Amino acid sequence: MASIAETAGDILAIAKGLSVTLRHLFKKPVTLQYPEVKPVLPPRHRGRHELARHENGLEKCVGCELCAAVCPAYAIYVEGAENPPDNPISIGERYAKIWVVNYLRCIFCGFCVEACPTEALQMKHIYELSEYTRAATIYTKEMLLQPVPKKDPADSWMPG
């Protein structure tokens, strides 16, 4: 048989638990209803990568491979190639023939963005990167490249 002191201790413990529940009962909930309500991201949030273009549609990436060299997780692979003079892809002498990032390995540290000398690589506020297969988490250059801006062809400084 339990003593009176043990019973009083049990009742006190129940009262403490109920006091915590009652304190939080009328507070505003912290949880967001995620798919319907999107969270507000801080300005320095590092999300998915994006390869930028110049206003004339040429790629900013010159295939220097510095982003791949500085990546601590080895998530980026870049293969540079000589830029064709008759149909340039980027402004520099080279361009990124292959540019791939593996988001299973990426730790979103932002070192690649800091290392980019042409500011071609940016991290946007895109954070919904879940996929059903591993192969879908490997993003290629075509998937990350900004769309070509729609401008009047006469505005371009490049011939053609």
The 10s digit of each residue's pLDDT in 29-47 is 888 888 898 888 999 999 9
| Percent of all residues in the chain with a pLDDT value above 90, rounded to a whole number | 66
pLDDT tens across 108-155, in order?
999 999 999 999 999 999 999 999 999 999 999 999 999 888 766 565
Statement: the pTM of the whole predicted model exceeds 0.85: no
Please tell me whether residues 18 and 57 are part of one structural domain: no
Q: Residue 137: what pLDDT?
A: 96
Q: Which residue has the higher pLDDT, 1 or 136?
A: 136
- In which band, very low, low, confident or very high, does the pLDDT at 74 lie, cut at 50, 70 and 90? very high
In a domain, 17, yes or no: yes
Output the CA torsion sign for 107, 47, 124, 90.
positive
Instruction: Judge whether 40 lies within some domain.
Output: no
Residue 130 located in a structural domain: yes
So what's the pLDDT on residue 159? Answer: 57
Same domain for 21 and 100, yes or no, is no
Same domain, 134 and 90: yes
Question: In which domain, by residue range, is 71 found?
Answer: 49-149
Question: What letters, b where the CB count within 10 A reaches 16 and e where it falls short, cover 61-98?
Answer: bbbbbbbbeebeeebbebebeebeeeebbbbbebbbee
Does any domain span residue 42?
no
Overall domain count for the chain = 2
